[in-house]
Amino acid sequence: MKIVVLPGDGIGPETMAVTVDVLQAASHRFGLNLDLDHDIAGHESLKRHGATVTPELLAKVKAADGLMLGPMATYDFKDEARGEINPSKYFRKSLDLHANIRPARTYPGMTARLGEFDLVVVRENTEGFYADRNVESGGSEMLITPDVVVSLRRITRQCCERIARSAFELAMTRKKHVTIVHKANVLKIGDGMFIDACQRIGREFPDVAIDDVIVDAMMAHVVRAPQKYDVIVTTNMFGDILSDLTAELSGSLGLGGSLNAGSDYAMGQAAHGSAPDIAGQNIANPISLILSAGMLLGWYGQRNGKQAFIDAAAAIDRTIADAIAAGECTRDVGGSLGTREAGAAFVARLQAA
């Protein structure tokens, strides 16, 4: 398996270095023969190539089997005409990575403030309210007058159906429960179509229980009792917000793994940002990026029928859980180790298991 590795900005190089060590340990233990191709994106690419991402990099990624994208300083990138392209958006759109899979779970060894839970947010990734993914040319936010902005949202049946299928297929491997999150009481047409598409696909999975919750009520319900939920499927912006909330409820956004998957490509990406305020201090939590790397290995294994990759992904999950339980992690999740030291502890556990 060939993986293009882009370390990113801020804490990205630190957390990606640890993640690469974990991937290499997994490759050695499970005989994966990983080929890690290192390149650049974000600020480093902007300085060197005049653009945060380049067509040549996209071609390299398309020729590989997967992509690991480190945290990017996306808020800094405002003018695409000057090469300031959002790398995350660029790859999601260019590779048609329609499903953003974001697990959230509690771990032994950490205080479970809301009780133990294990859920996954399945977020549509290519349309919705995001102005940079809605139209073929230009943006879908318009300044009508100096004091009036109109923002458009695109919802298509095709995208609704394929994210629904991703959610139901995932639910069949878990507790067989899908919750549709929407705002159909106000967005009657767009979210009405989203609910209808999810229910249509759901009829192909008669063993899966289905319910639906309005998004504002869902924010209250998931804080009160997250253990009620298994797989949550929703549109782009609602999923972005909800998945950050559920990751934080598990103990830290630093525990939020994230996989962006399409029909042909997939990208592992931490759920958090580049945190430039703590960059270079050896305190950043690498777990989110490590979990995302494990998810990428699991996706590749399932897609290609390669059990060794599925086993490696499961071993990475277990190693993270065991390390947290033993306190071999960074301070934000109850440990006392630095980024590099936590990474070394993860690698040692993965090699010994």
Question: 108: which residues sit within 8 A by CB, 6+ positions away?
Answer: 321, 324, 325
Where is 162: in which H helix or E strand? helix 157-171
**Residue among 337, 345, 134 at smallest CA distance from 235:** 134
Q: In this predicted structure, what is the pLDDT of residue 115?
A: 92
Q: Sort strands 141-145 and 148-151 into parallel, antiparallel or unpaired.
A: antiparallel
In whole angstroms, what is the distance from residue 191 CA to residue 64 CA? 36
Low-confidence ranges of the chain (pLDDT < 50): none
In a domain, 267, yes or no: no
Q: Give the CATH number for residue 313.
A: 3.40.718.10
Antiparallel, parallel or unpaired: β 259-261 and 118-124: unpaired
Asked whether the beta carbons of 323 and 345 are under 8 A apart, the reply is: yes
User: Measured between alpha carbons, how far is 125 from 47 in angstroms, rounded to an integer?
Assistant: 29
Shared domain check, 46 and 144 = no
Same domain, 49 and 78: yes
CA nearest 49: which of 100, 21, 84, 17?
A: 84
The encoded tokens of residue 295 equal 């998810």
* Spatial distance between the Cα atoms of 293 and 301, rounded to a whole number of angstroms: 12
Query: Is 105 part of any domain?
Result: no
Residue 132 pLDDT: 63
255: in domain: no
What was the pLDDT predicted at 113? 86
- The reply to whether 117 and 90 lie within a common domain is no
Q: Which pLDDT belongs to residue 319?
A: 96
Do 174 and 135 share a structural domain? Answer: yes
Q: What is the DSSP letter of 253?
A: G
Question: What are the beta bridge partners of residue 58?
Answer: none
pLDDT for the residue 188: 96
pLDDT at 222: 96
Q: Are residues 6 and 62 in the same domain?
A: yes
Q: How far apart are CA 261 and CA 342, in angstroms?
A: 28
* Cα–Cα distance, 283 to 185 (Å, whole number): 44
| Side chain identity, residue 178 | V
Which tokens in the block code for residue 317? Answer: 């999950």
- If asked whether residues 140 and 242 sit together in one domain, one would say yes
CA-based torsion, 319, 320, 323, 325: positive or negative: negative
Q: What confidence score (pLDDT) does residue 111 get?
A: 84
Residue 106 falls inside a structural domain: no
**Cα distance between residue 289 and residue 268, in whole Å:** 7
**What is the domain extent for residue 235?**
112-250
Task: Determine what percent of the chain is predicted with pLDDT higher than 70.
Answer: 97
User: Quick one: which of 92, 94, 120 has its CA closest to 105?
Assistant: 120
- Counted domains in the chain: 2
